[in-house]
Every structure is written in C-alpha cells, then in structure tokens.
Structure 1
Amino acid sequence: MGWTRILGGIDPLVRLLLITIFLATIVPVTGDGRAIARIVSDGAIFLLFLLNGLRLPRGDVLAGLRNARFLLPLVAWCFLAMGAAGWMLWQIGSAVLPAQVALGLLFLGILPSTVQSATAYSSLAGGNVAASVVAAAVLNVLGVFITAPLLALLAGTEAVGIDIGGLERIATILLLPFVIGQLAQGWAGGWVRSNRVLVSWADRTAIAIAVYVAFSGAVEQGLWTRVDALAWAALLGLVAVFLAIGFGGAWLCGGMLRLDRGDRIAFLFAGAQKSIALGAPLASVLFPPAVAGLLLLPVLVYHLLQLMLSAPLANRLNPQPGP
C-alpha cells in the first residue's frame, strides 16, 4: 500500500489540519503579523457562518425543532451529559496537563456535533439521514448560544475570562453572518447548495485559518515544550475515555429512549461526534491565540479519533453493507 493510497483514505479536513499544524510549527505568525492574521481569521470565520446560514433551509430547522422526542434528549446528551464528562476529565487532567490543555477537555465536552461527518456516517450506517442533518444543524445553532456561557459557568469566569466583549464578538462574527445567510437564502441559498465542493473547501479553509492563527500563538508560547511526552500520553488516554463515553453513552441513551434503529443511529453519530468547525472559530473568537491553540489540542485529537472510529462502526451497524 503506497503513501498516496494511505493519504487518500484520510478525511480531507484532517489532512488540511495536519498540514496547518505543521506550518504553524515551522512558520508561526508572530510580531506585528498577529494583528493582521487575527483580522483574516475573523473574516474567514464570518464567511464560514455566512455559508452555514445560506445552505441550511429554515424549513429543516423548524421541522427538527418539532421532533422533540428525538431532539430534546439529544440536546441534553450533547451539552449536559457530555459537558459533565468533560468537567470530570478536566478535573483529572488538571493534575498532569498544562492548565489550558486540561480546560480544553471541558471545552470539548460542551461543543455541538459535527454536521457533515455525523450525517455521512449516519447514512453509511443506514440511519435516519434527515434526522441526522437537522439534529446536527440545530445543535450547531444552539452551540453558538450555549457553549460559551456554559464554559464560563462550569469553569468559572475567572478561569475562562469570558466577558461582554467576548459575547459581542460571538454575536458579531458567528451569529450575525448566520442570520444574514438565513435572510439571504432566497437569492443565494440555491447557488451555495449547487456548488457544494467549492463551499466545502471554503469551510475547510476558514477552519484551517482559525487553527493556524491559534496554533501560531501556542507555538510562540512554547507549545511543544510545555506538552511533553507524558502529557501527550495522558491526553490521548483521556480523549480515549471521552470517546468511550460519547459513543457508548449515546448508543445506550438511544436504546433507553426506545428510538427506532434509524433514529438511534442518527442519535449516536450526532450525539457522540464533536465539531471542530465550531470549536476552532469559537476558541479563536473568545481567547487570544496562545490560549486558543492549547485549548484546541483535545478537540483536534478527538476529531481525528472520532473519524477513525466512526467509519468501521458505521460499516458494522449497516444491516446491508455495500460490496
């Protein structure tokens, strides 16, 4: 098996993020360039959420909100149960990890689900794709409102440092473009949905820019010396525990709710996966790059491992696997 085939089997966003982290390590943005990079990052994030608003039909959001038996437990699982698991692992990780990296475990726990990969793996597993699309989209909309206040509540405002200015940045850079996109769907939504490849790469590029700026700040503050081999081992172990809680707990929760198999599969992937697409922009908006880069380490590790786990899991759950 050649390197081309190996790399071709890796999710494109993962490949792009690995390249981004490598570039931030060898050529981090420093000095006066940081202010310019932050402006570029904010602009890319604004575009990301504008595109999200344009392509998410309002009717789908409203339909998802009406499926309370599926959606309300999913919201509780994603933000409250996973948030509690994140809080527990943050407490454990604080003994062996740098403070900002340990806090990233809590941040990871209260992030919403992915949209694209949760839907893709739900489809691959034979789940309810419509429910998965709507659920993941609604969770991401709620995440803009819920994640930052919940982080401040669980970690304490002194530890997190979220103030009115931070909430204003969320409203301006995340919420405002999404609302504009929703209002402009009549004349631009069709173009966005018909150019999915271009829009998908615009999404990935915006996320990569946010990660690059955040990691540049962390590298300048000594990321690779502050997180030693023991800390990396501890981080991988804690994230593995998080994966077991996320996927195992979401599957058991769907069974306890007596969801049919299609909805249970949709609940699994929407409830267990966590979104780097919101995590990277939100961390970049709320925190200076040096803090955001460290905070995102658990999110990036979880994102990589969740994709590695989801593909074989989806194939196993599919009652009629393809050739």
Structure 2
Amino acid sequence: MKKLLALLDPYVGLMMLVIALAAVLPVHGRGAAIAATTADVAIAFLFFLYGTRLSPRAALAGLVHWRLHLAILLCTFALFPALGLGVSHLASGVLPPALLVGVVLLCLMPSTVQSSIAFTSIAHGNVAAALCAASLSNFLGVFISPLLVGWLLQTSGVVLSFDVFRDILLQLLAPFLVGQLVRPWLGAWIQRHKTVLGYADRGSILLIIYVAFSKGMVENIWHEVAVADLLVLLAVLTLLLAVVLLLTRFIGRRLLSLPIEDEIALQFCGSKKSLASGLPIASLLFPGPQLGIILLPLMLFHQIQLIVCAVLARSYAAAPARSVSAQGAS
C-alpha cells in the first residue's frame, strides 16, 4: 500500500483544492481578464519548458523502434478517438452533453511523458523507446489534437478558425521551438533547478484550472452536473482505460509479437492521456464558461490511470517471467 501511495500524484489533491477555491472565490470582471492573460503566459511557459527538457539525441536514439512508435501513435490518435466516439454515442442521454464532449476530448489528447516513462521503468520495459514515443506523441499532439477536435467535435461548436491556429502556433509551438533552440545553453541550468521549475510547471497548470473553473462558477453552469453524473462518469472512464489496456496488450503480444520490453512501453505509452498538455490545448479550443466541465473527464482520467498503471507496473515487475528474463539478460 505504501508503494502504491508513493506512486500516486499528491498534486491531484492540490487540483481539488484549486477547484474548491474557484467554487468559493471565483475571479470576476477585471480580475478575470488579468487571470486569463496570466494563464496564457503560463501555457507558453509550460511548452517552453517542454522544449528545453526534450533531448533530440535521446528521441532520435529511440526511433529505430519504428513499429513500436507507429503502434503507440495509432493507439493514441486512432484507437482512443474511436473508443471515445463510441462511448459518447452509448452514453448519450445518460451524461450531460458537456461531459460527453470532455470524454471525446480526453481521447484526442497526446500521451503523457513523465508517467509513461516512470511506469515503463518500474515494469522493466524499454525506457528509451518510451521516452521517444511519449515525446513524439506530445510534439505531434500540438498539431494532431486540435485537428481531431475540430473534425470530430464539429457538432459541439468547435470551429478551427485562423485565430485558433494562430494561438496554437504562438502559445504552444513557438515556445516549444524556442526551448529546443536554447536547450544547449539552458539545458544544464534547468536540470540543476528542475525541482524549482517543477513547482512553476505545476503552478501554471493549477492557474489554468482555476481560471477554467472560475468561468463556470461565474456563469453558473455547474447545476448541469449531478452526483449521479459523476459516478457514471467515473465508471465510464474506468471501463475506457480497462479496454485500452487490454487492447494495447493484445496488439503488442498477439498482432505485433513484440518483445516484452516493447510490449510494456506500448501498454503504458499507448494508454495514457496527458493532463499537462491537454489542459493548455483544451483552454485554447474551448474558451467559454463550460471549459471546467469539459476538462473534468480528463482530470478524473488522469488520476484513474495513475492508480491503475501503478498497480500494473508493479505486477509486471514482480511477474516470474520478467524475473527469469532479467536474470537471463544479466
């Protein structure tokens, strides 16, 4: 139990506190405009940090596993969206429309980086390939996720205008590329101060959450979500993750006959959805007051995937077949 708790992210508790703060003290008027502008700056800062942290050499080193990377990208940007659309149709009339949009939205986001690599490492999988695949997913997600949202959520009022693409370029892609350019000079400094910058990184996400949920409180839209809706949503998200984990294992083991190390990387990278990348992208695509509700499935899925994959990673690490394999390799 202690090991499991160590793997869980206490940051989720901070997110809940920020949501409670937005419910009690939402930002209004001029303050809301200032907070929104600050959140935009925070989004750019997040992607600048992503650019400085991604090592092009490490990413290129993992590209030799092209079948694995292709499988992970297809799971992230094809399998997940198909499942999300299926869930939205099956749950239509059961969940509020904004929550259904949120379920589809989470399925269109890129994979995580930190937790995918961490769980792959714990399970004794191919860490180098996981690093490459997760980084590639996040980079391509800046383009692919908004395009998928505009294509699959047209009926929800999402229109990818020039302004949206401009914001994506200026707030996501440009800071990321600047981070890559200055990485030779700032990379070592950022590595030395990664703890402090990690606080700034997560603080930026908390600010985005606060602004999003404040909008919902000011517009009084939370009456659309009942406790029963949240319970149904939790069940739906848990089932979604279980299906994806089963399918990624089947694809890696049966369809592609991957080595166990690559199968582990596929399962952990192909089943994750990034909260850190998803929140900024969603805030650009859904600037209205319903953003808080739309983000809720992604936030809940984030916590569910951490709990389930923590248990799964320990299971892989403790498996007899894994122990024998590891001994043979040594």
**TM-score when scaled to structure 2?**
0.91
Report what 1:24 is aligned to.
Answer: 22
Q: Which runs of 5+ in 2 are unaligned?
A: 324-330
Report what 2:328 is aligned to.
Answer: none
Q: Secondary structure at the match of 2:157?
A: helix
Query: Contact conserved, 1:214 with 1:292, CA < 8 A, in 2?
Result: yes
Q: Secondary structure at the match of 2:160?
A: coil
| 1:25-54 alpha-carbon deviations (Å, 9 max, x no partner) | 211112222111111101111111001001
Q: Give the counterpart of 1:94 among 92, 100, 106.
A: 92
Change (3 A) 1:65 1:291: farther
Q: Distance in 2 between matches of 1:80 and 1:42?
A: 29
Change (3 A) 1:32 1:17: same
Q: Distance in 1 between matches of 2:129 and 2:47?
A: 21
| 1:90-116 alpha-carbon deviations (Å, 9 max, x no partner) | 222331222221111111111111111
Query: Contact conserved, 1:216 with 1:289, CA < 8 A, in 2?
Result: no
Q: Is residue 44 of structure 2 the alignment partner of residue 62 of structure 1?
A: no
Q: Distance in 2 between matches of 1:94 and 1:219?
A: 25
Q: Give the counterpart of 1:243 among 241, 244, 249.
A: 241
Report what 1:310 is aligned to.
Answer: 309
Seq. identity, %? 38
Counterpart amino acid of residue 209 in structure 1: L
- How many aligned positions are there? 318
Report what 1:276 is aligned to.
Answer: 275
Q: Give the counterpart of 2:168 among 150, 167, 170.
A: 170
Q: Give the counterpart of 1:160 among 141, 158, 161.
A: 158
**TM-score when scaled to structure 1?**
0.93
Query: Contact conserved, 1:93 with 1:234, CA < 8 A, in 2?
Result: no
Report what 1:258 is aligned to.
Answer: 257
| 1:228-257 alpha-carbon deviations (Å, 9 max, x no partner) | 122112211211121112211111111121
Q: Distance in 1 between matches of 2:268 and 2:158?
A: 29
Report what 2:295 is aligned to.
Answer: 296
Q: Secondary structure at the match of 1:258?
A: coil
Q: Distance in 2 between matches of 1:138 and 1:15?
A: 29
Q: Is residue 86 of structure 2 the alignment partner of residue 84 of structure 1?
A: no
| 1:15-54 equivalent positions in 2, closer than 5 A | 15-54=13-52
| 1:148-175 alpha-carbon deviations (Å, 9 max, x no partner) | 1111111226622332111111111000
| 1:126-141 equivalent positions in 2, closer than 5 A | 126-141=124-139
Change (3 A) 1:5 1:312: closer
Query: Contact conserved, 1:218 with 1:292, CA < 8 A, in 2?
Result: yes
Counterpart amino acid of residue 157 in structure 2: A
Q: Give the counterpart of 2:204 among 189, 203, 206.
A: 206
Query: Contact conserved, 2:101 with 2:156, CA < 8 A, in 1?
Result: no
Change (3 A) 1:81 1:5: closer
Change (3 A) 1:68 1:10: closer
Change (3 A) 1:156 1:24: same
Q: Secondary structure at the match of 1:252?
A: helix
| 1:244-273 alpha-carbon deviations (Å, 9 max, x no partner) | 122111111111211111111111110001
Q: Distance in 2 between matches of 1:8 and 1:261?
A: 25
Q: Give the counterpart of 2:177 among 161, 168, 179.
A: 179
**How far off its partner does 1:6 sit?**
10
Change (3 A) 1:5 1:263: closer
Change (3 A) 1:8 1:77: closer
| 1:79-136 alpha-carbon deviations (Å, 9 max, x no partner) | 1011100111122233122222111111111111111111111111111111111111
Query: Contact conserved, 2:215 with 2:289, CA < 8 A, in 1?
Result: yes
Query: Contact conserved, 1:246 with 1:273, CA < 8 A, in 2?
Result: no
Change (3 A) 1:94 1:142: same
Query: Contact conserved, 2:129 with 2:265, CA < 8 A, in 1?
Result: yes
**How far off its partner does 1:16 sit?**
2.2
Change (3 A) 1:289 1:12: farther
Change (3 A) 1:219 1:65: farther
Q: Distance in 2 between matches of 1:6 and 1:269?
A: 17
Q: Secondary structure at the match of 1:290?
A: coil
Query: Contact conserved, 2:112 with 2:273, CA < 8 A, in 1?
Result: yes
**How far off its partner does 1:193 sit?**
2.2
Report what 2:220 is aligned to.
Answer: 222
Q: Secondary structure at the match of 1:160?
A: coil
